[in-house]
Structure 1
Amino acid sequence: MADRKPLLRRALFSRGSWSETSRITAILRKETVGGALLLFAAAVALIWANSAWSASYHNLTSFHVGTDRFGLHLDLTLGGWAADGLLAIFFFVVGLELKREFVAGDLRDPGRAALPIAAAVGGMVVPAAIFVAFTADASDGAVRGWAIPTATDIAFAVAALAVISTHLPSALRTFLLTLAVVDDLLAITVIAVFYTEKIKVVPLLVALIPLTLFAILVQRRIRACWLLIPLAALTWVFVHESGVHATVAGVLLGFTVPVLRSEAAGGPDAGPGLAEHFEHLMRPVSAGFAVPVFAFFAAGVTFGGYDGLVTALRDPIALGIVGGLVVGKTIGVFGTTWVLAAITRASLDSALRWIDVFGMSMLAGIGFTVSLLTGDLAYDSGSARDDVVKVAVLTGSLLAALLAAIVLRLRNRHYRSVWILESRDRDHDGVPDVYESGRD
């Protein structure tokens, strides 16, 4: 019984340290801008694909750039370069963020780390089960897309959160960001394991050479771009040649970058803080360019009018995706959190209500970038099913955002008043007083 006493006092979504809160706030601010660009790019693609000039959009997407010389298979469409190449940058940032969270962030505490990890797993299992239930009787391998509704889009979700609830407690915002990062790591693992048809061992082994050299250089705090970028590019090329999806290279490269617990003291000219330095450089590229460009090439689906839209949404695949994102994510994330609280006898932080967690769980149903990527891998790109996936992902994500908005907006006024009180800094040291009261 003595071992349970700490658990009895543990509060879910308790306030973290000020350093971690300020860092997460800065990340969310950048992702909000990236989310706005993502939405703009997707809107442009949808309008163009359903205009009188739709053929030019599809011709642009399928335009080939690259070469197959020297035994390489790099003659890809622009859409393929966006999915395989640009998203590798996105997953490099994901790898950096995840490593920083578990080495230097508040999640190095197993008690804090357990919640977003468990919620991410629950948020993957339940949507997958719902998708399988809808597509089990469908033909031609429809069930192969089971992983499509399992991922949360960081940029899209954070942008929606910025519009929906500007004063939600930092602990919940941190939870959403961490959940999405862990979610993306699980998604890339699923892609590597379940959507790799054939692995070529030799190119995969060759990829270890530039990856190892990259790791040696960053471990020695070498930041020379003229050395690191070619090694990263070679790693990407050989992973791509191996048959494993090339975005896996981004995660592997991110994991090699050293993270120290004293990283907050590091700057662009300091020894510590290399991961923070790379993240500072690459996050704007990822959120401001790589993901929006991918969204532009991936989201453009021609509906074929109202009848075509309705027909697409009646497809079992579409029903599974929408049900997985809207219902499955909510049940998976919220249900796992509630069960974890019951098992550990932990209580919700006194500043929060379960309705807040429910609304955030709904917001986790916004799946876009990785969902579209998984759809391309599950079914033939450019096929009728590919269009169904795009329609369903867009519909499910927008529906999840709208439902989350209804719930979270109701709480926004309350948290605005709380935020005013908690932001007081009477000693003018740059740290809110609430973080200096021993409640971290």
Structure 2
Amino acid sequence: MNSPEPDTSSSRKLFALPSAKERRFLADALRTETVGGMVLLLAAVIALICANAPTLSGWYESVRSFHFGISALGLDLSVEHWASDGILTVFFFVAGIELKRELVAGELRNPATAALPIVAALCGMAVPAAVYLIPNLLAGGQLQGWAVPMATDIAFALGVLAVIGTNLPSALRAFLLTLAIVDDLGGILVIAVFYTSGLNWWALAGAVAGLILFRVLHIDLRVRGWYVYVPLGLAIWALMYNSGVHATISGVAMGMLLRVLPDTERGESEETPSVAERVEHLVRPLSAGFAVPLFALFAAGVSLSGPALSAAFRQPEALGVVLGLFAGKIVGVFGGTYLAARFTRAQLSDDLTWPDVAGVAMLAGIGFTVSLLMSELAFTDAGTTEHVKAAILIGSLLSAVVACIMLKVRDSKYRALWEIESRDEDGDSVPDIDQETDPVRRPTEAARRQGR
């Protein structure tokens, strides 16, 4: 009797169910980001209230502009800059860990698997940038803000999903997370290349030397202990800040230096969490629950008066940001995904349809943390920066509302898929779907959709 042919269709499927290990990592990461997203939303609301309430706006501005630090080290900064250049480095440190993990052990290590989120993310960055340029070229606006609508804020997006109670299946969540990671990489490169000026080469050389020392201690000498790396990390950050390169780049660099695979030379098994995973598990709550909300508290406080809101649709810079986030993101991400499927002759998973992809693409139009940071780097005059920040909020809100409507329509379907993924009828803490390794016994995707 001939053995059944192995099912190879999954290799030609887009948004197929991730592996059990990948789903566990995904659940842990997104759980923290979802809680952080809720805190981020609250911080943004508080910032808007403080900036627009007559009795609070003066106090808010005085706190935001209050300076403190060590002048001799070039670190006498305002509270707002400590939040954006200092505390936000924790967020970029986690982004660096995520990026390296994806490149070494995650979705991006396999070129065939990585093609979809990379193409979607690149198109999702290029199209919004192009959309921004159109009104600014026509109306003589400032072109240097082209990068502002490029970013996707995963925490804000997940916070929105938590508010409306939508259960995206694991495949779409994995795509959204990987898309955001590639998006962050693009933002990091843009900040490093296009928003760096007046380099202090001695400070930069010191920062690079510090990173080399960090690598030697961590990789070659296997030195452990936070009391070694925290002071070293602070020194690297201070040198990077004084070099003229945006200080958050130091966080990315240190995150990418951590080992993301188990140390087999010391007897660690493949199932043992790596140093990067352990550090990320500890630092991610600090990033999602403190660093990013604190940045939002001092960056999102913009005027929402009638003139300020109307400027978002009249001023070319602000209009370009609104259109880039709301229209450019969905066109770029959806178009990139469709082109990737078309040219690779891949097919969507039987559980999903193209409207599901459109909903996630619309969700990618929520740009907040990195977009606000880029707006501060791109524009020098306070008026334009204020209007562009208001445009970021408007574009993100419009994207969130439309995405919620698109995804909520399919929520009953998503809930059924989620229940199938997490079903554990034998109570052994292992989802039943991960135990179906026999091709004869494994139900088809169509049967899983019907819950059989």
What's the TM-score bracket when you normalise by the shorter of the two chains?
over 0.9
Task: Tell me the distance in 1 between the aligned counterparts of 2:417 and 2:267.
Answer: 33
SS at match of 1:259: coil
Task: Tell me the distance in 1 between the aligned counterparts of 2:128 and 2:108.
Answer: 25
Q: Could you tell me which amino acid in structure 1 is paired with residue 231 of structure 2?
A: P
Q: How does 1:12-91 map to 2 (within 5 A)?
A: 12-52=14-54, 53-69=56-72, 72-91=73-92
Task: Tell me the distance in 2 between the aligned counterparts of 1:221 and 1:262.
Answer: 10
Q: 1:101 and 1:81, CA in 2 relative to 1: closer, same or farther beyond 3 A?
A: same
Quote the offset at 1:420 in angstroms.
2.5
TM-score (norm 2): 0.90
Tell me which residue corresponds to 2:192. Answer: 192
Quote the offset at 1:319 in angstroms.
1.0
TM-score (norm 1): 0.92
Paired residues of 1:124 and 1:151 also in contact (CA < 8 A): yes
Task: Tell me the distance in 1 between the aligned counterparts of 2:372 and 2:384.
Answer: 12
- Structure 1: stretches of 5+ with no match in the other structure: none
Paired residues of 1:8 and 1:347 also in contact (CA < 8 A): no
Task: Tell me the distance in 2 between the aligned counterparts of 1:9 and 1:37.
Answer: 38
Task: Tell me the distance in 2 between the aligned counterparts of 1:207 and 1:420.
Answer: 49
Q: Could you tell me which amino acid in structure 2 is paired with residue 403 of structure 1?
A: V
Q: How does 1:206-221 map to 2 (within 5 A)?
A: 206-219=206-219, 220-221=221-222
Task: Tell me the distance in 1 between the aligned counterparts of 2:137 and 2:107.
Answer: 41
Moved more, 429-438 or 25-34: 429-438
Task: Tell me the distance in 2 between the aligned counterparts of 1:398 and 1:198.
Answer: 36
Q: Could you tell me which amino acid in structure 1 is paired with residue 69 of structure 2?
A: G
Tell me which residue corresponds to 2:396. Answer: 397
Quote the offset at 1:106 in angstroms.
4.0
User: Is 1:411–2:410 an aligned residue pair?
Assistant: yes
Paired residues of 1:104 and 1:261 also in contact (CA < 8 A): no
Task: Tell me the distance in 1 between the aligned counterparts of 2:336 and 2:277.
Answer: 31
Deviations 1:378-424 (A, max 9, x none): 0126x100111111000000100000001000000122123333332
Quote the offset at 1:317 in angstroms.
1.1
Q: Could you tell me which amino acid in structure 1 is paired with residue 66 of structure 2?
A: F
Tell me which residue corresponds to 1:326. Answer: 326
Paired residues of 2:145 and 2:375 also in contact (CA < 8 A): yes
Tell me which residue corresponds to 1:431. Answer: 430
User: Is 1:247–2:287 an aligned residue pair?
Assistant: no
Task: Tell me the distance in 2 between the aligned counterparts of 1:252 and 1:103.
Answer: 15
Tell me which residue corresponds to 1:111. Answer: 112
Q: Could you tell me which amino acid in structure 1 is paired with residue 173 of structure 2?
A: R
SS at match of 2:74: coil
Quote the offset at 1:6 in angstroms.
7.3
Task: Tell me the distance in 2 between the aligned counterparts of 1:262 and 1:418.
Answer: 36
Q: Could you tell me which amino acid in structure 2 is paired with residue 67 of structure 1?
A: I
Quote the offset at 1:345 in angstroms.
0.2
Task: Tell me the distance in 2 between the aligned counterparts of 1:418 and 1:173.
Answer: 13
Paired residues of 2:117 and 2:175 also in contact (CA < 8 A): yes
Tell me which residue corresponds to 1:316. Answer: 316
Task: Tell me the distance in 1 between the aligned counterparts of 2:267 and 2:432.
Answer: 25
Task: Tell me the distance in 1 between the aligned counterparts of 2:303 and 2:373.
Answer: 18
User: Is 1:100–2:93 an aligned residue pair?
Assistant: no
Paired residues of 1:165 and 1:408 also in contact (CA < 8 A): no
SS at match of 2:409: helix
Quote the offset at 1:163 in angstroms.
3.0
- Structure 2: stretches of 5+ with no match in the other structure: 1-6, 446-452
Tell me which residue corresponds to 2:3. Answer: none
Moved more, 108-117 or 395-404: 108-117
Quote the offset at 1:433 in angstroms.
1.8
Quote the offset at 1:166 in angstroms.
3.0
Deviations 1:149-203 (A, max 9, x none): 0000121011112334532210100111111111011101101101112222221
Paired residues of 2:191 and 2:374 also in contact (CA < 8 A): yes
Task: Tell me the distance in 2 between the aligned counterparts of 1:414 and 1:364.
Answer: 21
Q: 1:308 and 1:24, CA in 2 relative to 1: closer, same or farther beyond 3 A?
A: same
* % same residue: 51
